Amino acid sequence: MRISLRFVIPLILALLAVAYGVVPLVDKLTLRWAVRDLDIRAELIANTVVEPLDDLLKAGSNRKAIAFLTRLTQDERLYAVGVCLAPDSPPWATPTLPEEIRCGDLGRWTGASAHLIDSAKGPLHVAVREAPLSGAPLAALVLVHDMSFVARRSEETQRYVFYVFTTLAALVSLITVVIAQLSWRGWVAGMRALLRGEGLLRQPANLAQQAPEFRPIARDLQRLIQEMETDLRTRDDSQVTWNPEALRGILHGELRGDDVIVVSNREPYIHQRQGNAVALHRPASGLVTALEPIMRACSGVWIAHGSGSADRETVDRHDRVAVPPEAPAYQLRRVWLSPEEEAGYYYGFANEGLWPLCHIAHVRPIFRSSDWQHYVEVNRLFAQAVVEEARTRAPIVLVQDYHFALLPRMVRELLPEATIITFWHIPWPNPESFAICPFAEEILKGLLGSSILGFHTQFHCNNFVDTVDRTLEARVDREALTVSLGGKLTAVRRYPISIEWPPNAEILARPLAECRAALRRENGLPEDLLLGIGVDRMDYTKGIAERFRAVERLLELHPEWAGRFCFIQIAAPTRSRIEEYQHHQQRIEALAAEINTRHTRNGVAPILLKASHHEPRQVYEYFRAADLCFVSSLHDGMNLVAKEFVAARDDERGVLILSRFTGAARELPEALIVNPYDADQCAAALHLALTMPASEQRDRMRLMRGLVADFNVYRWAGRMLLDAALMRRRNRLLETPVGQSPSPPKS
């Protein structure tokens, strides 16, 4: 529409100008030129005919004189000729001489220019010239030219002028449209690129080449936008009290209540058949711990694998169940997998391939092409579930973890307007380590379907960007930390995950002294015994063996602790179908037994291994009963146990020993930071913790609690949602055609 107007309007203007300006001008000019030509012609004829005419008159042959004049009019333009010998006599003339030409008023036709008359024949040009003849010195010759040829010539000229000008006008209009289109697109593209953060300054060779005139404005605009964003971020982060209400506020204010869909492998509630009854379980998973309070606040849909033996019995006909059961706040949509799919996608590719690949824990990754096929299929299955659950064309999809590396791209293809935030809960290795994966390219391309890709630490963000740079033909902006693949931009951002704060009152309900006494009693331990705690899934990345070795080393270096100190390890069973995990559990059990054999004193074993699942409330009671918590992961994205221990200690006591290879170590430097591979250092940290004065414990714990309180899980999710909202606003602004409302809901 815009294009056709741009073409037609100049064309119409040009035609009007031709009709009312150019054509009359051409007429006037043609006439003027013709009259001048005829004047000259008349002069020439007069000069030529006077002499022969005089001879004929002298010879007295009037008849011959008239015949001579009539012969002259055989010239197609000379219409009539007459001779006036005296003013009062009738002219000798050809029969065609118009009647209004009389010898008495010839003065009417003389002067600087000839005169025109209209006759039945058409316009005539009359020229009167002196013709001194013998005996009639005042005689005059009247020459009348037919001017119809002028009209014909003028008509022809008009036609040519019209065609020429119309063609020119059409050409000019066309060129105008093309230039306008090109420059409009260039500017729009430049502006879009700028607002997307692909500043011209960052790709001078590319964009600045396309629109070099844009460069100075771009620099200023970009700086302004960045300053505003930083300003907004800092203000938001420091001024908001991050709680469920704040999150709901963002969702309904910034995101206009758009629908939120979470996708994860692990479901937050598992229904298990136990005889005739159905029991509800909360799985041991950092991801679930973090996301559950978010979903309770946002009330969207959580899509996950229905893995419980009674899961099918508890869903409605859309495979949904409202949770939490005691106060439903959101929908859990279960996706069913066959045993083969689960074996290939979950146990195989995700946990025998990607998990060891991303954790530098010296367990060799296994990649089977059959596992990969299942991984692709299951990702597609979940992508389809996302489409089914989306209420609008542009939902916010929160993709969780390494089980769904391909999902972001699949969802992007099915729902191009969706805002896809992918969070990678585990570390991202360096490019050399990642390169051994035979499906590296597909995984990276899959992840780059995300609008935002989040990691716990800046180090993992950098590793990811480096990996993309080495593996794909993508544009990487290291300053803005964005990756552009096939024109689609993915922002790679750091969002350190956290836990609910303040912690749920229920899990802190039991008084501290009671927890201390009860747990010692229940485990047959002396009342004054010092207690260490470790809570993990039974995973080889958690460094449980290294932890036990540290306890052993402590007892070797400080035998006085034997019988006075016990370390309780809660190890929830995990991925037990995988051989590596079975071996790991056997090794851990054997190691604990071996150390206990050597160091048990007064009936107190130094290590109490509880290889079973515990409810969150019990876990928190252990945290509250302990004097120290030891987190010794060999490599961990964040490690929420560290933060949970801090949250559990409202008495501001207890010491946290924390592996430097966890994301948490970057946020909690007041913990005793150790290298879990260094048994001596860990033993020294254990000794330090057991002897740390209460005041120092309080000082350290206060700082750590302050950090976790400020940076709780609502802030983690809120930050991502705010970034998503900003992105959506930008996209709506830039991609919505003028006058069209953005993304109407699906009918």
Q: Using CB under 6 A, which of 85, 301, 497, 566 touches ligand GDG?
A: 497
Site string for ligand GDG, 531-570 (x = CB under 6 A): ----xxx--------------------------------x
Query: Does residue 453 touch ligand GDG according to CB under 6 A?
Result: no
685 burial class (0-12, 13-18, 19+ CB within 10 angstroms)? buried
Query: Does residue 619 touch ligand GDG according to CB under 6 A?
Result: yes
Query: Does residue 506 touch ligand GDG according to CB under 6 A?
Result: no
- What is the distance between the alpha carbons of residues 569 and 566, in angstroms, rounded to a whole number? 10
For 441, other C-beta atoms within 10 Å of its C-beta total 11
Q: Using CB under 6 A, which of 6, 64, 393, 614 touches ligand GDG?
A: 614
Q: Which stretch binds ligand GDG (CB under 6 A): 72-80, 281-289, 414-422, 693-701?
A: 281-289
Phi, psi of 240 (to 5 degrees): -80, 140
Structure tokens of 311?
Answer: 């899961």
Write b or e for each residue in 72-99: b if 16 or more Cβ atoms lie within 10 A of its Cβ, otherwise e.
bbeeeebbbbbbbbeeeeebbbbebbbe
Query: Does residue 637 touch ligand GDG according to CB under 6 A?
Result: yes
Query: Does residue 494 touch ligand GDG according to CB under 6 A?
Result: no
The distance of Cα 85 from the centroid of its chain, to the nearest Å, equals: 99
Q: Which stretch binds ligand GDG (CB under 6 A): 89-97, 278-286, 445-453, 507-515?
A: 278-286
Query: Does residue 267 touch ligand GDG according to CB under 6 A?
Result: no
- What is the distance between the alpha carbons of residues 141 and 153, in angstroms, rounded to a whole number? 28
Query: Does residue 519 touch ligand GDG according to CB under 6 A?
Result: no
Strand partners, 281: 270
- Answer yes or no: are the C-beta atoms of 214 and 203 closer than 8 Å: no
428 CB-side CA count, 13 A? 29
CA dihedral 305, 307, 309, 313 (to 10 degrees): -10
Closest residue by Cα to residue 634 from 660, 673, 656: 660
- Which residue is listed with tokens 């001779």? 83
Q: How many residues bind ligand GDG (CB under 6 A)?
A: 27
Q: Which residue is nearest to ligand GDG (CB)?
A: 286
Q: Which stretch binds ligand GDG (CB under 6 A): 580-588, 614-622, 677-685, 710-718?
A: 614-622
Q: Which stretch binds ligand GDG (CB under 6 A): 14-22, 77-85, 282-290, 475-483?
A: 282-290
Site string for ligand GDG, 336-375 (x = CB under 6 A): ----------------------------------------
Query: Does residue 286 touch ligand GDG according to CB under 6 A?
Result: yes
Structure tokens of 661?
Answer: 């290879």
Q: Which stretch binds ligand GDG (CB under 6 A): 120-128, 279-287, 408-416, 440-448?
A: 279-287
Angstrom distances, CA of residue 651 to CA of 286, 516, 567, 655, 658: 24, 12, 21, 12, 20
**Residue 407 or residue 497: which is nearer to ligand GDG going by CB?**
497
SS3 161: helix
Query: Does residue 572 touch ligand GDG according to CB under 6 A?
Result: yes
Closest residue by Cα to residue 399 from 720, 678, 5, 175: 720
Query: Does residue 426 touch ligand GDG according to CB under 6 A?
Result: yes
- Which residue is listed with tokens 């015949």? 67
Q: Which stretch binds ligand GDG (CB under 6 A): 216-224, 377-385, 615-623, 647-655?
A: 615-623
Cis peptide before 502 (omega within 30 of 0): yes
Q: Using CB under 6 A, which of 148, 616, 666, 726 touches ligand GDG?
A: 616
Closest residue by Cα to residue 346 from 419, 266, 439, 414: 266
Query: Does residue 285 touch ligand GDG according to CB under 6 A?
Result: yes
Query: Does residue 405 touch ligand GDG according to CB under 6 A?
Result: no
Q: Which residues bind ligand GDG (CB under 6 A)?
A: 282, 284-287, 289-290, 425-426, 497, 535-537, 570, 572, 613-616, 619, 636-641, 644
